[in-house]
Amino acid sequence: MENQRLVLFAALGVLLLLLWSAWQRDYHQPPQATQPAVTEQQAAPAPGAGVAPTGESGVPATGEAPVATDQLVRVQTDVLDVTISLLGGDIRSVRLLDYTVAADDPTPYAVLDVRPDLVYVAQTGLLAKDAPAPGPQALFQADASSYSLADDQDQLTVTLRWTADDGIEVEKRYVFHRNRYLIDLQQQVTNHSEQPWQGWQFVQLRRTAPAKSGGLLFAAQSYTGGVLHSPEQRYQKISFGDIADKPLQRDIQNGWLAMLQHYFVAAWVPPREATFRYYTHADSGQYVLGASSPWQTAQAGGGQAQFSAQLYVGPKDQDRLAAVAPDLELTVDYGKLTIISKPLFWLLKTIHSFVGNWGRSIVLLTLLIKVVFYKLSETSYRSMARMRTMQPKMQALKERYGDDRQKLNQELMELYKREKINPLGGCLPILIQIPVFIALYWVLLESVELRQAEWILWYTDLSVRDPYYVLPILMGVSMLIQQRLNPSPLDPIQQRVMMAMPIVFTVFFLFFPAGLVLYWVTNNVLSIAQQWLITRRIESGAKKS
């Protein structure tokens, strides 16, 4: 029965697409080089392949350096808890005070950090031609070991100082802002020597690849890796495998670079209009994505050179990201169906602004989607209901021509023609809705707003699986009820496959985010109500006639 086959293939197609996407994101990671465990007293290796604008390799290769506890500066704002190392002036950790590790763990979530299972730091420095400069091993000095944004302050500046024997002075300033995840970097070179100073700035993100997930294949994960933006390529993914296999050197104006992970992002945004050289390289199991500035000159006798950049470390909040740099909000990666996902997210967020609960927002969004597709669904359910009324005649044809499959198909087509039934009418409307479902799937998976979002009862985080598996079981039951309302396949093998589908989907959805399963359950319940009403009307009409 072609109608049932198409329904089956559509369901399997959606499932396979989700599984393939999950595998690509969760398991397709490059092999990591063997490396020793990293402790809090061990620094990430300093830059090994920074690129000068002229194409020269300007960053010296250096080994790992110890980080003593008295070499760290702590900075706290209303939203950030930051640790800066005086060795290199690197940002070694950034914890988000408004985001906890889990709903039951109040520890602030760390985006950047150095710990045994992860090295992820934001590095900056200056390199010069035939002159001293504070590179990756430079030791800075600070006025204090801790800084805190006061209640009456909107801005906090942390200044690190470095001085060379021949009169080169550098001030590296990190500027923090109230209620912002954006950190301004300013580096000023003052040349008191007798020779001109010529150099450039590098900014980069260095991290180890994430450990391979221990979850099941169908527990989907979002993309973790690098991204590069340019006016020509607005969103270019650079995986850890790409960094290891194909080192990059590319000159870009008005670009930015980022390292993505689920719900959070770190991104360097160089000044607009300046052409930076973007580069990648890998060493010792760590991956670097960075950019180097144009040359600048500080003249002898007190001349100065100024360098700057901005670092965003925080949640993938689309409004905040869009305010930092053009297209930075694309780091909320909805995949190929972004054109559908973005309006769906806007609608979901708008609903939430009225109801104040993400679970109820998902239910209402599902209801609106059903209203939009009501006519298509009605066409599908009418076709299925009419096919259902033809079941006795179709069964009779099967008993008569069961041994002659070709003749059986011919007689079925004649029956469809006489009764004016389109066997595809029940499937095409469903196929049209599949892109919307997949787009909403990525909205619910990628949106940081749903992380630790409460709904009712024990649902305190819609971004993780249902701890008691109630929603997946309800989803399986709703699929079984839907099947009861659909015409049964004539082929016994198809009947067994269709009966197994609710069980298979229930098992898969045990590991899906509760918010996504909530959408499925709501959609199925609404579909059952609509289909039952339509089937009842058509079957009543068939009995009267």
3-state SS string for 89-153:
CCEEEEEEEEEEEECCEEEEEEEEEEECCEEEEEEEEEEECCCCCCCCCCECEECCCEEECCCCC
Please check the confidence at residue 68 and state whether its pLDDT lies above 70: no
Q: Is pLDDT above 60 for 55?
A: no
257 lies in the same domain as 327: yes
With a threshold of 0.75, does the pTM exceed it? yes
Query: What is the Cα–Cα distance from 388 to 207, expressed in whole angstroms?
Result: 59
Q: Euclidean distance between the first and final Cα of the chain, in Å?
A: 26
> Distance of alpha carbon 78 from its chain centroid, rounded?
25
In a domain, 185, yes or no: yes
Which structure tokens are listed for 385? 């209901």
* pLDDT for position 228: 96
Average pLDDT, the chain: 81
H or E element: which one contains 336?
Answer: none
| Whether residue 144 is found in the same domain as residue 241 | yes
Q: When comparing pLDDT for 440 and 382, which is higher?
A: 440
Mean pLDDT across 113-131: 93
- Shared domain for 45 and 104, answered yes or no, is yes
Q: Mean pLDDT over residues 278-282, rounded?
A: 94
Are 269 and 415 within one domain? no
Whether residues 300 and 374 share a domain: the answer is no
383 or 149, which is more confident: 149
Gap between the Cα atoms of 172 and 284, Å rounded = 28
Asked if residue 346 and residue 314 are part of one domain, the reply reads no
Report if residue 177 sits inside a domain: yes
> Can you give the pLDDT at residue 163?
95
* Predicted local distance difference test score (pLDDT) of residue 58: 40
- Can you give the residue range of the structural domain that contains 130? 31-209+223-333
Q: Say how many CA atoms lie within 13 Å of 83 toward its Cβ.
A: 20
For residue 216, tell me if it sits in a domain.
no
Residue 76 lies in a domain: yes
CA angle 68, 70, 72 (to 5 degrees): 85
Label residues 288-311 b or e (16+ Cβ within 10 Å = b).
bbbbbbbebebeeeeeebebbbbb
Mark whether 119 and 11 lie in a shared domain: no
Last residue of a domain, one of 293, 314, 333: 333
| Domain C-terminal end among 333, 364, 380 | 333
215 assigned to some structural domain: no
Q: How far apart are CA 473 and CA 94, in angstroms?
A: 40
Shared-domain flag, residues 410 and 324: no
Give me the pLDDT at residue 54, please.
Answer: 42
**Structure token pair of residue 73:** 């500066």
Q: What is the pLDDT of residue 59?
A: 40
Number of folded domains that form the chain: 2
- pLDDT over 70 percentage in the chain: 77
Residue where a domain stops, chosen among 295, 315, 333: 333
Residue 317 within any structural domain of the chain: yes
Which residues is 226 bridged to in the sheet? 238, 259
pLDDT of residue 444: 84
What is the structure's pLDDT at 373?
82
Indicate whether 542 pLDDT > 70. no
The dihedral sign for the CA sequence 370, 373, 378, 381: negative
* pLDDT of 464: 84
* CATH code, 86: 2.70.98.90
Q: How confident is the model at residue 183 (pLDDT cuts 50, 70, 90)?
A: very high
472 and 354, same domain (yes or no): yes
Q: Which of 8-12, 88-92, 494-498 has the lowest mean pLDDT?
A: 8-12
Cα gap 447→426, rounded to integer Å: 33
How do residues 210-245 score in pLDDT, each as one tens digit? 876 544 444 456 789 999 999 999 999 999 999 999
pLDDT at residue 12 is higher than 70: no
Domain assignment of residue 271, yes or no: yes
pLDDT at residue 25 is higher than 70: no
Instruction: Taking the CA atoms of 98, 104, 107 and 110 in sequence, report the sign of the dihedral they define.
Output: negative
Domain match, 104 and 165 both: yes
Query: What's the distance, CA 373 to chain centroid?
Result: 28
* Residue 427 pLDDT: 63
Backbone region of residue 497 per phi and psi (left: phi > 0; alpha: psi in -120 to 50; beta: other values) = alpha
Please state, in angstroms and rounded to a whole number, the distance separating the CA atoms of residues 287 and 30: 11
Specify the length of the chain in residues.
545
Identify whether residues 376 and 513 lie together within a single domain. yes
Stretch 62-68: mean pLDDT: 41
Q: What is the mean pLDDT of residues 30-47?
A: 33
d(CA 93, CA 538): 65
179 vs 76, 308, 309, 479, 485, CA distance in Å? 12, 21, 19, 45, 53
Average pLDDT over residues 168-187: 97
Interacting residues of 214 by C-beta distance below 8 A, sequence separation 6+: none
Distance between CA 42 and CA 334 in Å, rounded?
A: 37
In terms of domains, do 352 and 378 share one? yes
Instruction: Categorize the per-residue pLDDT at 442 as very low, low, confident or very high, splitting at 50, 70 and 90.
Output: confident
Is residue 512 included in any domain, yes or no? Answer: yes
User: Worst-scoring range by mean pLDDT, 25-34, 86-95, 119-128, 143-152?
Assistant: 25-34
